[in-house]
């Protein structure tokens, strides 16, 4: 049974960071004494409302067992939940920033925080890392202080919207640039200011290490995307590493029962060290 089919263990807390029905997150707290490092996680599903954070519970529970707290953020998505531009971005920012409020009530070490996302959630995780570069006139600019980040991690992540569009059609059965257009309200030529504010590649350098992890058997994210991001990041003075895991597919990288997970767990632990 794969990670999408297995019932996920429950979180320790479900907490709303806003008033909307989709503005909540699941908090996973390790039982250890002392403050725990924190992963702020964004689930995938091509930003579409039919996919939610449920499947991420397996990953969150495993990290909890490793002594790592996880704040898994839900957000408005394209479709019935009313997401897309600008709501999806506003929710991702508000959900991430809420970590500071959580630390007032729970034992979280805000000096050891990474942002991490799977698939389309990789885009949101990397966008969070770079949003301090957004023009103040943008709809998604947020002046509130941010929790400092140690690193950004993408698990089979669509980390860059322009690269996702450029590589669209690599897999004839996969999602493509239409999903990006639905999120942004059009192509880059039609809404250029939105891409300048909402595309992580336009926000480089983000000044923290970036790790991109992908399997050789991923049928949704083109194999060129991680390396092209790494090249773009390095040209802008950032540090980016790419880990390709033989035999892993799109969901193995978020499945603690997969052979790939042990290696991924160590990358996360190293980023938080």
The CATH code of the domain that includes 104 is 3.40.50.1820
- Can you read off the two tokens belonging to residue 94? 């508000």
Match 């479709």 to its residue by tokens. 79
Give pLDDT, residue 168: 80
Helix (H, G, I), strand (E, B) or coil at 85: coil
pTM of the model: 0.96
Give the domain extent around 92. 13-272
Report yes or no on 5 lying in a domain: no
Dist CA 119 CA 97 (whole Å): 21
Give pLDDT, residue 173: 44
How many folded domains does the chain comprise?
Answer: 1
The alpha carbon dihedral of 65, 107, 208, 176 has a sign of positive
Dist CA 213 CA 215 (whole Å): 7
Report yes or no on 139 lying in a domain: yes
Report yes or no on 201 lying in a domain: yes
Report yes or no on 1 lying in a domain: no
DSSP 1-54: --TTTSPPPPPSEEEESSSSTT-EEEEE----SSPEEEEEEE--STTBTT--SG
Dist CA 259 CA 269 (whole Å): 17
Report yes or no on 109 lying in a domain: yes
Report yes or no on 113 lying in a domain: yes
Report yes or no on 7 lying in a domain: no
Report yes or no on 8 lying in a domain: no
The tens-digit pLDDT sequence of the chain (273 residues) is: 688 889 999 999 999 999 999 999 999 999 977 899 999 999 999 999 999 999 999 999 999 999 999 999 999 999 999 999 999 999 999 999 999 999 999 999 999 999 999 999 999 999 999 999 999 999 999 887 679 999 999 999 999 999 999 988 765 444 578 999 999 999 999 999 999 999 999 999 999 999 999 999 998 998 899 999 999 999 999 999 999 999 999 999 999 999 999 999 999 999 998
């Amino acid at each position: 049974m794969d990670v999408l089919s297995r019932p996920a263990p429950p979180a320790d807390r479900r907490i709303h960071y806003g008033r909307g029905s989709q503005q909540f997150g699941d908090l996973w707290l390790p039982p250890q004494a002392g403050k725990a490092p924190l992963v702020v996680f964004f689930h995938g599903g091509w930003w579409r409302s039919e996919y939610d954070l449920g499947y991420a519970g397996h990953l969150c529970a495993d990290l909890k067992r490793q002594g790592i707290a996880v704040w898994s953020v839900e957000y408005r998505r394209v479709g019935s939940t009313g997401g897309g531009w600008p709501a999806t971005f506003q929710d991702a920012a508000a959900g991430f920033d809420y970590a500071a409020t959580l630390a007032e009530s729970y034992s979280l070490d805000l000096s050891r925080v990474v942002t991490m996302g799977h698939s389309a959630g990789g885009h949101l995780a990397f966008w969070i890392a770079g949003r301090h570069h957004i023009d103040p006139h943008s709809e998604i600019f947020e002046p509130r202080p941010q929790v400092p980040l140690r690193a950004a991690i993408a698990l089979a992540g669509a980390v860059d919207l322009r690269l996702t569009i450029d590589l669209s059609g690599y897999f004839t059965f996969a999602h493509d640039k239409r999903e990006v257009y639905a999120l942004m309200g059009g192509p880059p030529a039609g809404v250029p200011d939105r891409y300048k504010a909402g595309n992580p590649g336009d926000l480089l350098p983000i000044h923290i290490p970036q790790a991109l992890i992908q399997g050789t058997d991923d049928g949704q994210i083109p194999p060129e995307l991680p390396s092209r991001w790494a090249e773009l990041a390095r040209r802008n003075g950032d540090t980016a590493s790419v880990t390709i895991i033989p035999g892993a597919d799109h969901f193995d990288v978020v499945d603690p029962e997969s052979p790939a997970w042990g290696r991924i767990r160590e990358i996360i632990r190293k980023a938080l060290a």
